[in-house]
Structure 1
Amino acid sequence: MAHAKTKGAKRAKLHHELSKLLDEELRRKGTSAVPAGEAFGKLRGLRETTTDQEIVWPPVVIFMNTLLEQDDNEKWIGMGNQELLEYFSTYAVVKARHSYGPRGHRGMSVLVFEATAIGYLEAERLHKHFLEQHTDRDAWERRRQLFYPGGKRQLYGYLATREDMDSFNQHCQGKSKLKFEMKSYQEMVVIPMKQMSEDNQQLLWIKNTVVKQERHKKALEQTFGVVSQKLHEYMEENKMVRHRTKLQHEENKQEMDYQEQFFKEQMNKVLKDIEEKEQKYKMLLKEERAKAKQFDIHSGNNNSRIRKEVIEKFIDSQGKGAEEFLSEREMLINSHEKKRDDLRRRYLEEEVEMEKVFEAALTALMEKYAPGTFQASSSA
């Protein structure tokens, strides 16, 4: 039928007529075919609207047959609050209450749970506990058995309804009534549980994130510890190197001071020798002139003219010699000063060149051991 309805090529009219005949045949038989194109992809699920119910809020579990005995006034005595709480101590209960009437304890007690979705689940868990033991509401209403074999009372329990709460408060007045409300099960239990599930997933994600962050933090701390240790070792080593360098510098300075002192002494000795030689030379000139004058005095008048000429020639020769000595001495001193200046200039040039070489070598060393640039990644 699907083929006949969707045929669009040759003999399409015959196919369409066949599909109409098939439709009519199926209609007479009380059925129908799935429309073409709808055989797959459409499933029927749950109803769009979820059924809701009213529940007692805060959650309450009713206990029946909690009587114990009658007193002298023929009034019934039942379980106490603490006894009931201890009996169900494995459940998260807020408080216990008992219903009383004209004849005392009515044998009806309740456990009130926390007004939360978790509290309702605890109450429902206790309800299922009685249901599994066949001591639930149905057993109490249809086939109750008040005593165990041996005389002990059999407790019955189930989730409370509005009628149960009204029955519990039947003989209560004012503040003695147990307050409750009727709430939507969807609003008070289902929606909060969904929210708790979402919160738990979010909490799990946060925990995983925190674990990852803790691992990353631990790795960073370990890395930081290693780097700190290496830095400490480097600082200690650098400190020792600086100390050794300082000692070496002091030793070199002391050695240079010794050498400077030695050369100064040598220079002073040379200068002293020069000064002594000049003094001797001056003394020698004075002595020779004195001899010439003395010869002139002791010679008398004999050959005075010739003697004077000889003396004058001697003095003139000494004078010329002194002048030439002074001239050559001046030239020698100037040449010496020039050589000294050249030596100082070369020393300064070599010193500057040596400092430039040291600067270049130190720059290359700092570039070689320069620290890397820290860049914080977005993931860190």
Structure 2
Amino acid sequence: MAHAKTKGSSRVKLHRDLAELLDVELNRKGTSIIPASETFGKWEGLCEAEHSRKIIWPPIIVVMNTQAEMDENDEKWLGIGNQELLDYFDSYRAIKARSSYGPKGHRGMSILIFESSPAGYMEADSLHIHLADQGTGRHAWEKKKILFRPGGKRQLYGYMAHKEDLDIFDKHSQDKTKFEIRSYQEMVLMPMRQMREDNHELVWLKNTNAKLTKQSKTLEESLALVSKKWRKTMEENRIVRQRTKLQHDQNKEEMDYQEQFFKDQFDTMQQVLEKSNQEISVVARSQEDSKLRREEIAEFIPSQAKDNKEFEAERGKLVKLHEDKKSEMRCRHTEEETDLEKEFESSLTRIIEKYALRSS
């Protein structure tokens, strides 16, 4: 064996094949060649065959001793009904029940079919263990079965189905039971591990969702408070803008009124000044006419009555009287014009003070 495993110079493949044949032969005889260096310090773990064992899919439990009695003609056997069988095992979640029939009727063999999922397999396996623990499993059926209990009731036996069991079950049936041979690790272990991981992730997601919900609620409350303050601020701003606009309109109206008032006063003063200028022009023209008249008289006097003292005296009186009247009229006009200007200035001052106080 050592020579066949270590030969490496010639015919290597032939030596290796011989080593494999020798190993198989030794295993068949229940022994093996273990080098002394490998005897100590090594252990054997799980059996690989158990780890990768094959199972029936979907999970199926075989129920035995389900015959009841012969029919009225004593020709065929009768047995348990499908729904009745489900009711007997209603604490386990089987989804379907079937019974096997042959030429002589019910064969006393039925099956419970479970869901095609890890949960369904666990239900079937729990029922299998339950039946085995109470002494009605496969071993009891094959070695020491008791068909009737005290009182005359039939004792049901059950166990996890193998391929050979289902072949026997479908022996006389045209509607064969649909199943597959699958890996226990692939169909049960790996999905359950995934479910466990999913459950951990689900718990994490629930915790995260609770935190997010709490944060969302806090944000909603904060948003509601901020929105309320924002609406209040907007309303206050609207009122301020409205009041500002109203005040602006009032100020504009007052300013327009004052502008129009001052414009009217300016126009009135302008008219008064123009009238005064016109009067001054009239007076100037009158003075010019008087001067011309005096010059004419002065020219007339030497030529007509230079020696007429009486005329001179009367003319002097007339001229003096005329000048006195003119002086009196000027004084009176000046006083009236002064009073008019004072009255105008006083009225204008009162109006300016009135509107200045209102604007402030």
Which amino acid is 1:100 matched to?
Answer: Y
2:107 pairs with 1:106:
yes
Q: Give how far 1:304 is off.
A: 5.9
Q: Give the equivalent residue in structure 2 for 1:167.
A: 168
Supply the AA of the counterpart residue of 2:140: A
Cα deviation, residue 160, structure 1: 1.4
Corresponding residue for 1:259? Answer: 258
Quote the Cα distance in structure 2 between the aligned partners of 1:46 and 1:223.
64
Amino acid at match of 1:165: L
Q: Aligned residue for 2:13?
A: none
Other-structure match for 1:66: 66
Paired AA for residue 47 in structure 1: G
**Which is higher, the Rg of structure 1 or of structure 2?**
2
For structure 1, which segment, 241-250 or 178-187, has the greater mean C-alpha deviation from structure 2 after superposition?
Answer: 178-187
In structure 2, what is the Cα distance between the partners aligned to 1:193 and 1:217?
34
2:210 aligned with 1:182, yes or no?
A: no
**Per-residue deviation at 1:298?**
5.3
**Whole-Å Cα distance in 2 between the matches of residues 222 and 192 of structure 1?**
43
Indicate the SS of the match to 2:211. Answer: helix
1:89-121 Cα distance to aligned partner (Å, 9 max, x none): 443323211111222111110011123222211
1:118-133 matches, cutoff 5 A: 118-133=119-134
- In structure 1, the residue matched to 2:293 is 294
Q: Report how far residue 138 of structure 1 moved.
A: 3.0
Summarize deviations over 1:33-64 as a string: whole Å, max 9, x none: xxxxxxxxxx9987165533332222110111
Distance 1:202 1:111 in 2: 34
Letter in 2 for 1:241: V
Distance across 2 between alignment mates of 1:252 and 1:303: 75
TM-score using structure 1 length: 0.62
Which residue in 2 is equivalent to 1:226?
225
Aligned counterpart, 2:80: 79
For 2:259 and 2:303, locate their aligned partners in 1 and report how far apart those are by CA, in whole Å.
60
Question: What is the TM-score when the length of structure 2 is the normalising length?
Answer: 0.65
**SS state of the match for residue 56, structure 2?**
strand
Unaligned runs of 5+ in 2: 1-40, 307-360
Cα displacement (A) at 1:296: 4.2
Q: Which runs of 5+ in 1 are unaligned?
A: 1-42, 308-380
1:73 deviation in Å? 2.8
Aligned pair count reads: 263
Q: Residue by residue, what CA displacement relative to the aligned partner does 1:128-148 show, whole Å, maximum 9, x if unpaired?
A: 332343332233334433334
Give the alignment's Cα RMSD to 1 decimal.
2.9
Q: Which residue of 2 aligns with 1:156?
A: 157
Query: Residue 188 of structure 2 aligns to which amino acid in structure 1?
Result: V
Q: Which residue identity does 2:153 align to in structure 1?
A: K
Secondary structure, counterpart of 2:177 in structure 1? coil
In the alignment, the residues of structure 2 paired with residue 48 and residue 113 of structure 1 have an alpha-carbon distance, to the nearest angstrom, of 28
Q: CA deviation at 1:216?
A: 3.0
Residue in structure 2 matched with residue 144 of structure 1 by the alignment? 145
Q: Deviations over 1:233-254 (max 9, x none)?
A: 2111111110010001011111
For 1:97, the aligned partner's letter is R
Q: CA deviation at 1:299?
A: 6.0
For 2:57, the equivalent position in structure 1 comes to: 57
- Residue 285 of structure 1 deviates from its aligned partner by 0.7
Q: For residues 252 and 181 of structure 2, what CA distance do their matches in structure 1 show?
A: 100
In 2 relative to 1, CA 261–128 (structure 1 residues): closer, same or farther, beyond 3 Å?
same
What CA distance in whole angstroms lies between the structure 2 residues aligned with 1:304 and 1:65? 184
- Please give the secondary structure, in 2, of the residue aligned with 1:108: strand
1:279 alignment partner in structure 2: 278
Separation of aligned partners in 1, 2:228 and 2:47: 67
1:96 match: 97
Aligned counterpart, 1:216 = 215
CA–CA distance in 2 between the matches of 1:223 and 1:241? 26
Whichever residue aligns with residue 89 of structure 2, its letter is: F
SS at match of 1:111: strand
Over the matched positions of the two proteins, sequence identity in percent amounts to: 48
* Structure 1 residue runs of 4 or more that deviate by more than 6 Å after TM superposition: 43-46
Name the aligned partner's letter for residue 68 of structure 1. A
1:199 maps to 198
- Cα 1:304–1:282 shift into 2, 3 Å: farther
- 1:197-248: CA deviations, max 9, x gaps? 2232233333333333333333333322222222222111111110010001
State the SS of the aligned residue for 2:244: helix
Q: Secondary structure at the match of 1:98?
A: strand
1:7-40 per-position Cα deviation (integer Å, ceiling 9, x unaligned): xxxxxxxxxxxxxxxxxxxxxxxxxxxxxxxxxx
Counterpart amino acid of 1:197? R
